[in-house]
Structure 1
Amino acid sequence: MFGLFQGSTPAYQNLTPTQFAQALRQPGAVLLDVRRPDEFAGGHLPGAINIDVTAPGFAQRVAALDKTRPLYVYCRSGARSANAASQLTTAGFEQVANLLGGVLDWPEKLVRQ
């Protein structure tokens, strides 16, 4: 599960939408949408915070998050969130999970603000 190491690189988990939805129910879970703000505004998972992985300052913005809380990361298709998950584990986040397939494979309705 969490905290496993693959060689010298900290590992994150890749979760299917069903696994991701179940894992989000745990207390203290943080949901991070790493898409652009315009994508986020078009629809996102309920309770998500938006920090664009492609924007300057991504590392500084996520550094403000609690590294001990479980962090669930997603994007449109799973590619940017996999990149973000790798950066987050390298930065010392203990429990990081990536949504396989991103919002394209998410079975539930997205919310808009």
Structure 2
Amino acid sequence: MADLTQEQWSEQLKNDDNAVIIDVRTDAEFEEGYIPGAVQIDIYNGAEFLKRVKELDTQKNYYVYCRSGGRSGQACMLMNSIGIKNAYNLKGGIMEWDGEITD
């Protein structure tokens, strides 16, 4: 797992043609706005979260975020533990995101 600053995360994402953005927030948080192209997998929904993460392609690069960076850090560690090598946590989460947001 790598903790990336907002700048590192967005720059790396922009240049990655094998990227998948994952939002691990709740449905209500997701509906308030999300980074364009993000797939929502709510980490608070434990069994469903684990099931969906296990279905992910381990060859892809995952850019993971939450509200402030805590849950997404946990999600990245969990993803690493099941064989996903490239999981990048957005430090500061969407609260500090200054890029585009879809609402």
Question: TM-score over 0.5 for the alignment?
Answer: yes
Q: Which amino acid aligns with 1:37?
A: D
Give 1:3's aligned residue: none
For the aligned residue pairs, the C-alpha RMSD in angstroms reads: 0.8
| CA drift at 1:109 | 3.5
* 2:88 matched residue in structure 1: 97
Unaligned runs of 5+ in 1: 1-11
SS of alignment partner, residue 73 of structure 1: strand
* TM-score normalised to structure 2 length: 0.94
2:3 is aligned to 14
* Structure 2 equivalent of residue 52 of structure 1: 42
| Number of corresponding residues | 101
Q: Tell me which stretches of 4 or more aligned residues in structure 1 moved more than 4 Å.
A: none
Higher helix proportion: 2
Partner of 2:88, secondary structure, is strand
Among the aligned pairs, what percent are the same residue?
Answer: 38
Alignment partner of 1:62 out of 53, 56, 64: 53
Aligned equivalents of 1:72, 1:80: Cα separation in 2: 13
Return the alpha-carbon distance in structure 2 between the equivalents of residues 62 and 41 of structure 1.
21
CA distance in structure 1 between the partners assigned to 2:54 and 2:100 by the alignment: 30
TM-score (norm 1): 0.86
**Which structure 2 segments of 5+ residues have no match?**
none
With CA pairs under 8 Å and 6+ residues apart, which has the higher RCO, 1 or 2?
Answer: 2
